[in-house]
Amino acid sequence: MPIRYIDQIKDLKNKRIFIRVDFNVPQDDKGTITEDTRIAGAVPTIRYAVEQGAKIVLASHLGRPKGEKNAKYTMAPAAKRLSELLGLKVKQAPDCFGPEVSGLLDAMKPGDVVMLENVRFYPGEEKNDMAFAKQLANGCEIYVNDAFAVSHRAHASVEAITKCIPTIAAGFLMRNEMTFFDKAMRNPVRPLVAILGGAKVSGKLEVLQTLVNKVDKVVIGGGMAFTFLKALGYSVGKSLVEDELILTAKRIMDKAKKRGVSFYLPVDCVVANAFEATATNFITTVQEIPEGWMALDIGPASATLFAETLRDAKTVIWNGPMGVFEMDAFARGTFSVAEAVGNCYATTIIGGGDTDAAVRKAGVDSKVSYISTGGGAFLELLEGKILPGVKALDIKMKK
Ligand code: AMP
């Protein structure tokens, strides 16, 4: 698909440029940003536009304000953090459009940056509403999407707006994401190992259906492993299971077997008598999970086994924690795998907020090749889908 990147646009000077970023970052109770990777990720694109003398209008969503204005979800803290990272003042607009916003944009000088308010304050955003997209476009001559993490959503500021602005392009963060993904999936150096974990089997089974056709090894941990173990006939106590997906899990394992893909499941786990940080817990084999107990982490033997699978890996993709890593008692499996991923001699690509957090907490973030800013978008790419936000950037379709 032919996509233009921001540095392929000839003259940005004095042009009003709309950059869709994803500043949907975690905040504490006081509204302080606790993790700013996504903001930092968009800085190269914004800085480039500043240096080229463009007038930059930024837009993002934050949280789930459900189509209504809500001060809790203002973009102001993100604009402030961006100001610090860029080393120049980013003005926070009071709204997404309207006379006051237009006044602010009309007064911009080359190199100025204005952050619009949360686009999800309007229901038109999630409905991909063209009228709302036109209001957002507000005299912009160039549209740039640098919001990879939301590009799996056909929302107004991601999709409809590309039809309202004459020139469209992708930013540098988007280029990085797509390049690493291509490297890992389209033409991978093998063995290619996929590690999947987390709680929601439903979201990841489709991904696995595609992945088993491409990878050499699959490693499953986290809550999702127990649907597979139940499919193999194990009693898994009160561990997380999606019963309606047992048949699909079986089919995936059959497909893996037919293709000669090694399929690794946990051999032991940490079981607890409640879903609580202080619950009584012990290590057991997956064949011996007691009735009424739940497995909340992989055990040490599984951690060693999983690390062993990575020894000869040349490409590794990882999405989803191996256990309830938010609670110390059930975090060891995830951290062991994070260390193994960090230390293996392979191109390693991490996707999803939890996995990102786990890799940072384990202190191996500087050792992995690439940490994607996308969770859902990353999974949809793995599934083989074309993201609506990327499709909308196809310059062939722009007539
Ligand atoms: P997901 O959004 O599907 O990637 O799931 C991430 C969540 O899975 C994290 O918050 C973990 O606490 C949770 N998780 C991982 N392993 C387990 C498990 N064995 N049982 C319940 N939840 C789990």
Ligand 1 lined by 354 (C-beta under 6 Å): yes
Ligand 1 lined by 357 (C-beta under 6 Å): no
Take residue 47 and report the two structure tokens written for it: 């800085």
Distance 345 CA to ligand 1 centre (A): 27
Take residue 384 and report the two structure tokens written for it: 């083989």
Place of tokens 């993100």: 78
Start-to-end CA distance of the chain, whole Å, equals 15
Q: Is 80 left (phi over 0), alpha (psi -120 to 50) or beta?
A: alpha
> Which residues are designated catalytic?
38, 200, 353, 376
pLDDT-derived band at 370 (thresholds 50, 70, 90) equals: very high
pLDDT-derived band at 278 (thresholds 50, 70, 90) equals: very high
Q: Which distant-in-sequence residues (6+ apart) come within 8 Å of 399 by Cβ?
A: none
**How many whole angstroms separate alpha carbon 41 and alpha carbon 139?**
26
Opening angle at CA 182, ends 176 and 188, nearest 5 = 130
Percent of residues, the chain, with pLDDT higher than 70: 99
**How many whole angstroms separate alpha carbon 389 and alpha carbon 157?**
9
pLDDT value of position 320 = 95
Ligand 1 lined by 199 (C-beta under 6 Å): yes
Distance 222 CA to ligand 1 centre (A): 6
pLDDT-derived band at 187 (thresholds 50, 70, 90) equals: confident
Take residue 389 and report the two structure tokens written for it: 């936000």
Query: Taking 70 as the threshold, does the pLDDT of residue 265 lie above it?
Result: yes
Give pLDDT tens digits for 303-329: 999 999 999 999 999 999 999 999 999
**CA 246 from centroid of its chain's CA atoms:** 26
Take residue 323 and report the two structure tokens written for it: 């256990």
**How many whole angstroms separate alpha carbon 43 and alpha carbon 206?**
33
pLDDT value of position 232 = 97
Find the helix or strand (DSSP H, E) in which 366 lies: none
- Partners of 145 in beta bridges: 20, 170
pLDDT value of position 399 = 57
Report the nearest atom of ligand 1 relative to the CA of 200.
3
pLDDT-derived band at 395 (thresholds 50, 70, 90) equals: confident
Report the nearest atom of ligand 1 relative to the CA of 222.
16
Query: Taking 60 as the threshold, does the pLDDT of residue 299 lie above it?
Result: yes
**How many whole angstroms separate alpha carbon 347 and alpha carbon 35?**
24
Give pLDDT tens digits for 195-243: 999 998 888 888 999 999 999 999 999 999 999 999 999 999 999 999 9
Query: Taking 60 as the threshold, does the pLDDT of residue 260 lie above it?
Result: yes
Average pLDDT of the segment spanning 255-269: 97
pLDDT value of position 396 = 79
Distance 270 CA to ligand 1 centre (A): 14
pLDDT-derived band at 347 (thresholds 50, 70, 90) equals: very high
What phi and psi, each to the nearest 5 degrees, are found at residue 113? -130, 125
Q: Any idea how long the chain is? A: 399
Going by CA atoms, what residue is nearest to atom 11 of ligand 1? 324
